[in-house]
Structure 1
Amino acid sequence: MSVKLEGNIFVTGSNRGIGLELVKQLAGMTGGDTHIYACCREPEGSRAQALREVTTQYSGKISIIKLDVSDEDSVSAAVQAVSKQIGDGGLNLLINNAAIAKPTFPGTLAATSKKHMMEVYETNVGGPFLTAKMFLPLLQKAAGGNSAEMHKGDTMSCRRAAIINISTYISSMEKCSENFHLAQMYAYRTSKAALNMLTCCLAEDLKTHNILVTAIHPGWVRTELGGSKAPLTSQESVLSMLSVMSSLSNKDSGMLLDWQGTTIPW
């Protein structure tokens, strides 16, 4: 699979699982002009050890940014930190990967509280909303202008300026009856369905700025969240997702796709 991504790339939730693998593969397959901003809540903590090791391995190519996506002040500080480093190029790709699931699997109705619902929504929806809103000036800078009429054909891509929201197959309302028995996950499902609507809204709002916005389901992946029975490794999922991201264009903005590029119904 051909993967062609470049420029300044910002990844949230990058200390473990899919986020960490995104940073690893992006660092390994992109050229010298690419810089990756890898974000996590506690860069100096024990859970960020693997991320620090990757940063050392690819010296000068990765900057670790302290970020709690549910905290507006934290997002603002991250914007300032990135702005100081990024120069005139702007931000080419924002990957909203950070997410939580509460309560523990399977997340039944009886086990789910209002507090669970609000905490999950704040991170899984409020987080991508804040990052998209507050990083917009840097994305616009990368897009090279804010008028789609300046260009013809496919004006949007992940190499130019894009937001990728990591969603899930179980956010699909049409498919709920097929998979609900496998994992109720009330808070997680509903938050990701809301993320899908955020994706649609941003796609409509930002298309005149030539900024692509797409949601991608990474598959059922063997991570802390996905569990040990998941069929996909993080390496397999991320390699396929990056290939899909490389091929995205105008027609894909506002869509929900899986890691292989297949459209998932709402």
Structure 2
Amino acid sequence: MAAVKACNILITGANRGLGLETVKQLLENSCQKHIFATCRDPDGPKSEALRELARKHPSVITIICLDVDDPCSIKESAKKVGSLLGNNGLNLLVNNAAIVARGTIHTSRVEDMKNTFNTNVIGPLLIIREYQPYLQTAAKASRTPGMSCNKAAVINISSVAGSMTRKPSNHIQSPVLPYSMSKAGFNMLTVLAAEELKADEILCMALHPGWVKTELGGEKAPLEPKESVEGMLRVIGSLTEKQHGGFLDYTGETIPW
């Protein structure tokens, strides 16, 4: 596996599912790093597993309160992380937090549409905006040419459900219109962010984790979080500027937008 050698990493939605598993597997990597594990309610019952990891690895993990639905929370989290980063900058930002809502054209509720877009599109946009200065700092500090996730990168954990090429084939069997539309928007955010971040040599791409057995994916999903994250970290560790602005899955396969 290609190692993720990024020194300073921030992961949203790190208290459960894929986010928590990513923190766990990054801890197994021998490369020296600091992980900013963010979640909405660090003191709540759903964050106990993350708190336990932080207690075991206090020099590696810092838990940060970040509510993706709250612009003020995003801004405050960036100030907090910035004060801890100092002059080193942020090497890797993983936009992982997301919610899912089911529905069709006729059954999708307006409230579900708004909540899903706030969490899955607007939140990540604001996170990229607030953390971009720290990514720029890391890119400038690197003496390595080109782009990589060890230098400065934004990885957007997306979904094949946001692919306008792939999703229509199973829409009737799996009607998640609010989620699919939000992930399509998230994918567009990735493409446009990649254009804006290119001048700073900050790599940006979307990554599909597969259908994973998590609170979001459900018990019928064929993939365990461990397998999905192992694949994603393998892909992340081997990314180059050739994948900038692209859409891959956890095996490294290119997904059509």
Normalised by the length of structure 2, the TM-score is 0.96
Q: CA offset at residue 101 of structure 1?
A: 1.2
Seq. identity, %: 46
In structure 2, how many angstroms separate the alpha carbons of the residues matched to 1:195 and 1:178?
A: 20
2:18 aligned with 1:18 = yes
Structure 1 equivalent of residue 77 of structure 2? 78
- Show the counterpart of 1:138: 134
The SS at the match of 1:144 is helix
Residue by residue over 1:32-85, the C-alpha shift from the partner in whole angstroms, topping out at 9 and shown as x without a partner, is 3x0000000110000100110111222210000000012111011101110111
Match of 1:190 in 2: 181
Higher mean C-alpha displacement, 16-25 vs 170-179: 170-179
Does the 8 Å contact 2:144/2:151 carry over to 1? no
- Residue among 172, 179, 192 paired with 1:181: 172
Structure 2 runs not aligned, ≥5 long: none
Alignment partner, residue 107 of structure 2: 111
Rounded to whole Å, the distance in 1 between the matches of 2:242 and 2:173 is 32
How many residue pairs match? The answer is 257
Hey, what does 1:127 align to over in structure 2?
A: 123
1:30–1:215 Cα change, 3 Å: farther
| Equivalent-residue separation in structure 1 for 2:217 and 2:28 (angstroms) | 25
2:195 aligned with 1:204:
yes
| 1:237 paired residue among 228, 232, 237 | 228
Displaced runs of 4+ in structure 1, greater than 4 A?
none
Q: What code does the residue aligned with 1:257 have? A: L
Query: Which residue of structure 2 aligns with residue 67 of structure 1?
Result: 66
Cα displacement (A) at 1:176: 2.3
What are the superposed Cα offsets for residues 84-127 of structure 1, whole Å, 9 maximum, x if unpaired?
1112110000000000112xxx4334431111101100110011
Cα drift, residue 229 of structure 1 = 1.1
Q: Do the aligned residues in 2 keep the contact of 1:37 with 1:62 (CA within 8 Å)?
A: yes
Match in the other structure for 2:206: 215
Task: Please give the alpha-carbon distance, in whole angstroms, between the structure 1 residues aligned to 2:58 and 2:149.
Answer: 24
CA offset at residue 145 of structure 1? 6.7
What residue is the counterpart of 1:46 in the other structure?
Answer: 45
Q: Give me the whole-angstrom Cα distance separating, in 2, the residues matched to 1:30 and 1:204.
A: 33
Correspondence for 1:224: 215
In structure 1, the residue corresponding to 2:186 is in which secondary structure?
helix
Consecutive unaligned residues of structure 1, counting only runs of 5 or more, are none
Matches within 5 A, 1:24-35: 24-32=24-32, 34-35=33-34
Determine if contact 2:197/2:203 at 8 Å carries over to the other structure.
Answer: yes
Deviation at 1:175, TM superposition (A): 1.3
Report the TM-score when normalising by structure 1: 0.93
**Structure 2: distance between partners of 1:248 and 1:2:** 9
1:265 aligns with 2:229: no
Residue identity in the other structure for 2:225: S
User: What's the CA shift for 1:3?
Assistant: 2.0
**Alpha-carbon separation, structure 2, partners of 1:112 and 1:170:** 16
